[in-house]
Structure 1
Amino acid sequence: MPREDANDFNWQDPLRSEDPHRMPNTSARPKHSRRTRRRRREDPARNELVSSSLESAQQCLFNQDYGPAFAHYLLVLHLAPVFKDVAKDSFRFTLFKWAEELDSVGRIQDLFDCYEQALELFPADEVILNSMGEHLFRMGFRDEAAGHFHKALKLRPDFPEARENFYRVANWLVERWHFLMLNDHGRNQKYQQAIQKAVQSGCNTVLDIGTGTGILGMCAKKAGAAEVYACELSKTMYELACEVLTANGMDGCIKILHIKSLEMEVPKDIPQRVSLVVTETVDAGLFGEGIIESLIHAWHHLLLPPQTSENEFREQSATGRVIPAGATVFAMAVESAEIRRHHRLCVSEVGGLSMAAAGELRSPVSCSMEPDDSMEPYTTERLSRLPGGYKSLTEPFTALNIDFNNVTELEGLSSREVQRVYLPVIQEGEVDALAVWFQLHLDEESSLSTGPQEDTCWEQAIYPVHGTKGFVLKPPDQLIVEISCRDAYLRLCSVAVQRDGREIQLDKSPEPRVSGNPMSVPNPEAELCSALACLQTGQNQTKDFCMLECSEMALLNNQDYHQRFSAAFGKLISQLKLSCPNQEQGPGVQSNLADDADSTNSSDLMYVLDVSEGFSLLSLIAASHGHVKAYSSVEKHKQQDVLRRLANSSNIAQENLEFWLNNMEDEQGMLQRPSREKLWTAIILDCVETCGLIRQKLMEKASLARCLLEDGGQIFPQRIVVYGMLVESDMLLLESAVQGHEPTLGFNIAPFINQFTVPVHVFLDFSTLECRHLSESVELFVLDLMNVNANYTNREVKVQATSAGRLTAVPFWYQIYLDHEISVSTLSQNSHWKQAAAVLQQPLEVQAGDWVCLAVKLHKSTISISAHVAGIAESNE
């Protein structure tokens, strides 16, 4: 949100005239014409109210009482719109300050009400539109945020903040798979052929559920369907589809509804039942976008009855059908270190801290037979591009067959009995996940596969296994997998391993039981002991269980990063102790401070503030060095409990670890001094997002942090160096925009979907990216968090091409310097960070030996890169 410094604000009333009770320009008279309009009679009481409210607004603003100031400004501008132009800046400032206060105390509805009131007064104010969009996006209202950013850009195309925000939200709204799908010519043609066959066989009324760009509905109309309807829930995609239909001359031929298909009715939304439903509301796990629920509803309310033995001799137009007709789901067990480190703790110590007391830590992706709203049953990965690869521990097996044209089968899916499958282990390894893909049967002849070996736009669904740490499968073991669809999600759980006639449970700790004879009864005493052990284990797991995001798990498993931070912080402490030789040293000091953190000795403490996003151990690692009081940014209570247990097990005094966000309401601020006498010894900033971008407002935070450091204090990290490389990558082009000049299946779609093209591709794994390297890596940019005078906003870098090719992108990553010597790279194999790439609007032909000039710019936190081949004069400079 745009901010102004209160010290720079002009507190003089810009609206005051010589007579405080007289409105500006009240003496102006309209020119006479043949029919003079009646002049509005002046209302002294009204003028008095406006003047006094204006004065009150300015006084409240001076006193930093922003709520009343905002209310007074609203009254003034409603009663006297003539003041809008001169009052705009003051009004904006008041709005933003009041919004900050409302946000800090959780009054979100009041915050949005204020923005709505502001936009009633200034509907074309791009700054207010952009600011409201930022709040909406942060609260999860992505569609609405995109609309505000888009309006702001239309009003002011050169507005950098709105453009940066629009690029960020575009990655959420129009996910990159939209581009991949439209670039997947094989997939498009198969869908078109299946729809054409269905329409020509008599299905002449069509409903496209989840139309996206509208391509499937347009295929139906082009095939000759008499009536075509479409629905789309996303406001962004709905508006995009409307533009596409208009551009292709079908806006009057296809009725598109901004509605969820489950809410559609006949005849309210469509005049009669249709004979064909087309849809691609399937995700990597097949059912994740709600296709089962939407098809059950369609069969009952929107589709003609299916073809059965009773009506098979009727005209085909009297029956309904669905494209796709069904699917077959496949799965296999895999070993993958990359999957493992994102879903469970793989290390025993982090930055010198033993993790034994942490309890059970796992990602929120966990499958069980019982639905749990707090957990996701699966995530997605492209196995062919998984860093470090994967090992197949079993052969692929058929997990499920489903007929979308059989409503009885669809309705019975959730009540199917749990199926147990015994999978022979084909090679030794630790099972980290079940990988799932499917074959989508469009009709009797045509199908699409999302398998890991296919050249497809699809990823695979990944069902991680949490409870097998250190357990190695080997032939002739059999992995026991349970399959269910309890809540219309496909659920696959690796529950046990059969070895030497015994079942070894993977997620529990009972005694192995003999399999084979179901009537065999184990020893009652052993069974009781086992049950008690399980009960105790279950209680401990429930008590100590803590959920971390996948990126937080990967961060926790990044030993190199934490070890280097510990070393850099240790150096800082040593330097400060040398400069203050009388200061007590060693971890033993903490015990002296345990009784009273504010005692006389506490003035000698070193204060550390960690403002990292999410779960972070850095504050605790700092406190473990002794003579340190650390303030952690961790907010969630269960995660705070984990830190407290780790502190206790590491002999860190309870008083030396605080959670500063718990006291936000009292402190009315974030980066504050720890006490009146002390400044911070170290402030830890979270500089790089997991996706590979610089954190928003990083340099502003660094500027504030520098003002709060004691002499000799330090920001961690001190400096960030951005590196990049020239590459040729068709994959990045395919994921960034619809390619080529030819229409997609004859339809003009590219110009509209490409509005959501973003210049920077995020969540990139450079180690597995399909590309050709056209240069060596080169330093692109430097961000110095400790020295404001060392920074710049743009730089020209010359890079010599080492190979000929088409320059399509510049992937970039960071070397993060914790101090002058110790650094970590976001490109390293165990990095929890991904990389990013600037994709060029037009590929650039280069020859080996050419010098390429890269114009690198940093605005706020966004890096942009443009390129051209240097001329002879430029090359010689």
Structure 2
Amino acid sequence: MPNTSARPKHGRRARRRRRVDPARDQLVSSSLESAQQCLLNQDYGTAFVHYLLVLNLAPVFKDFAQDSFRFTLFKWAEELDSVGRIQELFDCYEQALEIFPADEVILNSMGEHLFRMGFRDEAAGHFHKALKLKPDFPEARENFYRVANWLVERWHFLMLNDHGRNRKYQQAIQKAVQNGCKTILDIGTGTGILGMCAKKAGAAEVYACELSKTMYELACEVVAANGMEGSIKILHKKSLDMEVPTDIPNRVSLVVTETVDAGLFGEGIIESLIHAWHHLLLPPKRGQGKFGEDSATGRVIPAGAAVFCMAVECLEIRRHHRLCAADVGGLSMAAAGELRSPVSCSPEQDDSTEPYTTERLSRLPGGYRALTEPFTALTIDFNNVQELEGLTSREVREMRLPVTQEGELDALAVWFQLHLDEENSLSTGPQEDTCWEQAIYPVHSAMSFVLKPLDELIVEVSCRDAYLRLSCVAVLRDGHKIYLDKRMDFPNSFKPIPNPNPEVELCSALACLQTSQSESEDFCMLECSEMALLNNQDYHQSFCTALTKLISELKVKNPNRNTVGMASFAADSSLLYVLDVSEGFSLLSLIAARQGQVKAYSSVEKSKQQNVLRRLARSNDVSEQHLEFWLNHTEDEQGMLQRPSREKLWSAIILDCVETCGLVRQKLMEKASLARFLLEEGGRIFPEKIVVYGMLVESDTLLLESAVQGREPTLGFNIAPFINQFTVPVHVFLDFSTLECRHLSDALELFVLDLMDVNKNYIEREVKVQATCGGRVTAVPFWYQIQLDPDVSVSTLSRNSHWKQAAAVLQDPLQVQAGDWIRLAVRLHKSTISISAHLDNAPVQMD
């Protein structure tokens, strides 16, 4: 045994000296020098390799080289991204994180690349890690908020706040368990609430599956927090991939699911249930109805559904799905061909179109008018596997709907009644207070079509590809069929309804004549938001007015621009150059080119959309030499903001400043800063200024859509603290005109973004607003006045705006009395607006 009392010779252990390796040190020194030289030469790939070598061989240089290494990584990643070398891009980030595993900036940047590539779960993980390392890192926080909307969709909050829906599902599950269903599978478990209901009701075995990684992890946390971790098995798997006994030991007696969307079948419930009946569920009792309750057989909750439909007139739907104007910003649209949204209620649908979109009919601006009574389009029994399997092969069913009210046919609105069992059912109808929206099947007809009482609307119903598909094909009037699709040629029976606007009728006729040669040439799909923009007359007329004023002013400064001819045009000697960098389809470049002596550059990328602009240019007497598609000649988006030619500067640069959802576009101020340096003397950025307005409101609706509310557990389960981690501070795609709310103040100016004068901008601003009545301040909705010049502006709050609004939501409402003063601190960080409110020095954070 060693002498434990013996003292060491030295009170402190001698520090080991690093062995000197001259060759290694020389390699590190030369590689560091090469990295810095390559960085100066913008050879980012080689610089990155040299930095990797240096930092692996000599970690002592980490602090010294960290900033340069980050910069090199980001630049090299941009190059790899631009040429599609995605795997190499992520390899570089993995190598970087091996050296700097706790670098929140690199983690956040890798998350941004992952998000753009569609890897949302992985992106969220990187943003979350970055926030853990640096909780006040604004870029990571904003990115996490953005990705949270994808990972945990807002309807999860609405669903958990829908107490009626929760109770009915709970009652149906309790009854099934009491009647002998002891083994349960919850398909698409989400937060795990239905599986926990089954366990609480006394089920012996409960299994659940969830495809989303984020929701799977959330469900695991929720189940563990409620003491059921060992009694509910949750699989991160699609139910279609589950097998017995690999995933569950035996077939179960009950499947519970709510994998239904506004159109009932859109989340794949038919395919999931067919697979479940064949592989996961006990077989049904022979002759068993949809509500059969034999414990030795399998069954499904919900047991079945009935789908209802009615025809509606709605201007809001119309302007998002088809062209409503013959003239836009002074341009005749006759030669545009057929423009419509990718949502098509047509018998000739293809893979490029969706059969329906979703809306909450009760909140549509301007409302809607029912043109027919609701009718039953389809019924389905989820406990009848033969009926499920035969759904897609059902014959197309033709239905005749008596028209009850005169109006323009814009869409078919669809909802359903979900039968959980014989006692409990849920309706998603437009008059119900429910978490579901309605499915909208827009009608794309060749002309505005007015239905009249005594007409019969002929609708075809089918379930191709397990989607419910409805198509308005014709109207029966006075014994004659009037077909609604111009591509269906029935000359003997077609009797067009007179259009109250002769100009529109003439333009439609001209468009048909000019473009009937080739259907593929004259048909072009635009996104719903692009269609709404095209129909925004005020927007285009305002730009037309502002551009005309600017160009006239610049021509006065240079009289030669009024007299140059086409010979000079070829030499580009006296032209005005206008650049439109709007997102998506835009007519602004063409509106500019019509001014004369203007060469306009468009950022429209899609070839079919470019062809639309070319046809419109020819029909509106704009020479092709006056219009150029800028992105055809640039490698990446950043290349747009550069000189039109070596000797020239831009006369005007049109920036797309506000996203359709109601937020300022990312990196707007950075783009504006670059654009200012590319303007000729007297040139202008459009818009030159954006004024942000807001208002204090009390709105329970916004709270319900933003987080699980109340202190009471949901059906007795502790869920709110976990899902509310994904609460975002700003609610987007808001329609303020139909929002259920009380106004607690007048509108006031919150912030100003000056795109032309950098010296007038600020990062933070504090404003005071007085409450006009008492209540709870739950949110601050905000919108924008977009000033093109001092005299011309457009508002994102106007009735025909293609923009929605946004709102900063308080999770802890602020109680105020009439006359109270509230201080709002408004902050802009990289184009992201955040707001916090204070009353009597008590802050309530909204960012």
In the alignment, structure 1 residue 109 sits paired with structure 2 residue 79: no
In the alignment, structure 1 residue 783 sits paired with structure 2 residue 720: no
* Structure 2 equivalent of residue 710 of structure 1: 680
Q: Separation in 1 of the partners of 2:491 and 2:608?
A: 32
In the alignment, structure 1 residue 511 sits paired with structure 2 residue 481: no
Q: Separation in 2 of the partners of 1:499 and 1:89?
A: 74
Cα contact 1:504–1:512 (8 A) shared by 2 = no
Change in 2 beyond 3 A, CA 1:499/1:606? same
AA in 2 matched with 1:133: G
* Structure 1 equivalent of residue 818 of structure 2: 848
Greater alpha carbon shift after TM alignment, 430-439 vs 32-41: 32-41
Shift of 1:240: 1.0
Shift of 1:613: 0.7
Change in 2 beyond 3 A, CA 1:349/1:110? farther
* Structure 2 equivalent of residue 529 of structure 1: none
- Which residues of 2 match residues 83-162 of structure 1 at below 5 A? 83-162=61-140
AA in 2 matched with 1:625: Q
Shift of 1:115: 1.7
Q: Separation in 1 of the partners of 2:708 and 2:148?
A: 15
Q: Separation in 1 of the partners of 2:270 and 2:470?
A: 17
Shift of 1:581: 2.3
Greater alpha carbon shift after TM alignment, 279-288 vs 664-673: 664-673
Greater alpha carbon shift after TM alignment, 404-413 vs 663-672: 663-672
- Which residues of 2 match residues 371-450 of structure 1 at below 5 A? 372-450=350-428
Greater alpha carbon shift after TM alignment, 763-772 vs 241-250: 241-250
Shift of 1:642: 0.8
In the alignment, structure 1 residue 568 sits paired with structure 2 residue 546: yes
TM-score by length of 2: 0.93
Give 3-state SS (helix, strand or coil) of 1:495's partner.
strand
* Structure 2 equivalent of residue 865 of structure 1: 835
Shift of 1:50: 2.9
Give 3-state SS (helix, strand or coil) of 2:466's partner.
coil
Change in 2 beyond 3 A, CA 1:336/1:50? same
AA in 1 matched with 2:822: V
Of 12, 24, 28, which residue of structure 2 is paired with 1:50?
28
In the alignment, structure 1 residue 279 sits paired with structure 2 residue 257: yes
In the alignment, structure 1 residue 225 sits paired with structure 2 residue 195: no
Change in 2 beyond 3 A, CA 1:124/1:871? closer
Shift of 1:306: 1.3
* Structure 2 equivalent of residue 730 of structure 1: 700
In the alignment, structure 1 residue 169 sits paired with structure 2 residue 147: yes
In the alignment, structure 1 residue 244 sits paired with structure 2 residue 214: no
Cα contact 2:515–2:522 (8 A) shared by 1 = no
* Structure 2 equivalent of residue 11 of structure 1: none
Q: Separation in 2 of the partners of 1:216 and 1:371?
A: 36
* Structure 2 equivalent of residue 547 of structure 1: 525
Cα contact 1:184–1:456 (8 A) shared by 2 = yes
- Which residues of 2 match residues 565-714 of structure 1 at below 5 A? 565-584=543-562, 591-592=566-567, 598-599=570-571, 602-665=572-635, 669-714=639-684
Cα contact 2:157–2:704 (8 A) shared by 1 = yes
Q: Separation in 2 of the partners of 1:590 and 1:760?
A: 53
What CA deviation, in whole Å up to 9, does each residue of 1:290-326 have, x standing for no partner? 01011111111111111224999x9933211111111
Greater alpha carbon shift after TM alignment, 141-150 vs 821-830: 141-150
Shift of 1:350: 1.1
Q: Separation in 1 of the partners of 2:724 and 2:130?
A: 19
Q: Separation in 2 of the partners of 1:46 and 1:871?
A: 61
Cα contact 1:243–1:752 (8 A) shared by 2 = yes
Give 3-state SS (helix, strand or coil) of 2:634's partner.
helix
Q: Separation in 2 of the partners of 1:310 and 1:833?
A: 52
What CA deviation, in whole Å up to 9, does each residue of 1:584-612 have, x standing for no partner? 25xxx67556xxx541xx12101111111
- Which residues of 2 match residues 453-472 of structure 1 at below 5 A? 453-472=431-450
Give 3-state SS (helix, strand or coil) of 2:608's partner.
helix
Of 727, 736, 744, which residue of structure 2 is paired with 1:774?
744
Of 298, 317, 326, which residue of structure 1 is paired with 2:304?
326
* Structure 1 equivalent of residue 5 of structure 2: none
AA in 1 matched with 2:677: C
Give 3-state SS (helix, strand or coil) of 2:189's partner.
coil
Cα contact 2:346–2:473 (8 A) shared by 1 = no
AA in 1 matched with 2:769: V
Greater alpha carbon shift after TM alignment, 69-78 vs 654-663: 69-78
* Structure 2 equivalent of residue 20 of structure 1: none
Shift of 1:630: 0.8
Q: Could you say what the CA RMSD is over the residues aligned between the two structures, in angstroms?
A: 2.4
AA in 1 matched with 2:823: C
Cα contact 1:431–1:473 (8 A) shared by 2 = yes
Q: Separation in 1 of the partners of 2:513 and 2:296?
A: 59
What CA deviation, in whole Å up to 9, does each residue of 1:718-743 have, x standing for no partner? 00001111111110110011000000
Shift of 1:670: 2.6
* Structure 2 equivalent of residue 744 of structure 1: 714
What CA deviation, in whole Å up to 9, does each residue of 1:173-195 have, x standing for no partner? 21111111000001001001111
Give 3-state SS (helix, strand or coil) of 2:27's partner.
helix
Give 3-state SS (helix, strand or coil) of 2:383's partner.
coil
What CA deviation, in whole Å up to 9, does each residue of 1:794-825 have, x standing for no partner? 11111111111111111110000001110000
Greater alpha carbon shift after TM alignment, 466-475 vs 814-823: 466-475
Greater alpha carbon shift after TM alignment, 448-457 vs 114-123: 114-123
Q: Separation in 1 of the partners of 2:452 and 2:105?
A: 62
AA in 1 matched with 2:670: E
* Structure 2 equivalent of residue 809 of structure 1: 779
Cα contact 2:108–2:130 (8 A) shared by 1 = yes
Cα contact 2:337–2:515 (8 A) shared by 1 = no
Change in 2 beyond 3 A, CA 1:669/1:365? same
Q: Separation in 2 of the partners of 1:315 and 1:547?
A: 50
AA in 1 matched with 2:624: Q
Shift of 1:381: 0.3
Gaps of 5+ in 1: 1-30, 516-532, 873-877
What CA deviation, in whole Å up to 9, does each residue of 1:541-563 have, x standing for no partner? 32211110000000000011000
Q: Separation in 1 of the partners of 2:12 and 2:779?
A: 66
Between the aligned residues of both structures, percent identity stands at 82
AA in 2 matched with 1:268: T
Q: Separation in 1 of the partners of 2:412 and 2:226?
A: 43
In the alignment, structure 1 residue 298 sits paired with structure 2 residue 276: yes
Q: Separation in 2 of the partners of 1:778 and 1:250?
A: 50
AA in 2 matched with 1:218: M
* Structure 1 equivalent of residue 506 of structure 2: none
AA in 2 matched with 1:470: S
- Which residues of 2 match residues 198-237 of structure 1 at below 5 A? 198-237=176-215
Q: Separation in 1 of the partners of 2:474 and 2:776?
A: 51
AA in 1 matched with 2:251: R
Shift of 1:76: 2.4
- Which residues of 2 match residues 474-485 of structure 1 at below 5 A? 474-485=452-463
Shift of 1:857: 1.2
In the alignment, structure 1 residue 347 sits paired with structure 2 residue 317: no
* Structure 1 equivalent of residue 790 of structure 2: 820
Greater alpha carbon shift after TM alignment, 294-303 vs 335-344: 294-303
Give 3-state SS (helix, strand or coil) of 2:737's partner.
helix
Q: Separation in 1 of the partners of 2:425 and 2:566?
A: 69
Cα contact 1:603–1:678 (8 A) shared by 2 = no
Gaps of 5+ in 2: 1-8, 495-510, 843-847
Q: Separation in 2 of the partners of 1:355 and 1:849?
A: 52
Give 3-state SS (helix, strand or coil) of 2:203's partner.
coil
Give 3-state SS (helix, strand or coil) of 1:647's partner.
helix
In the alignment, structure 1 residue 259 sits paired with structure 2 residue 237: yes
* Structure 2 equivalent of residue 519 of structure 1: none
Cα contact 2:664–2:832 (8 A) shared by 1 = yes
* Structure 1 equivalent of residue 503 of structure 2: none
Change in 2 beyond 3 A, CA 1:422/1:153? same
Q: Separation in 2 of the partners of 1:373 and 1:32?
A: 80
Cα contact 1:590–1:652 (8 A) shared by 2 = no
Q: Separation in 1 of the partners of 2:266 and 2:412?
A: 16
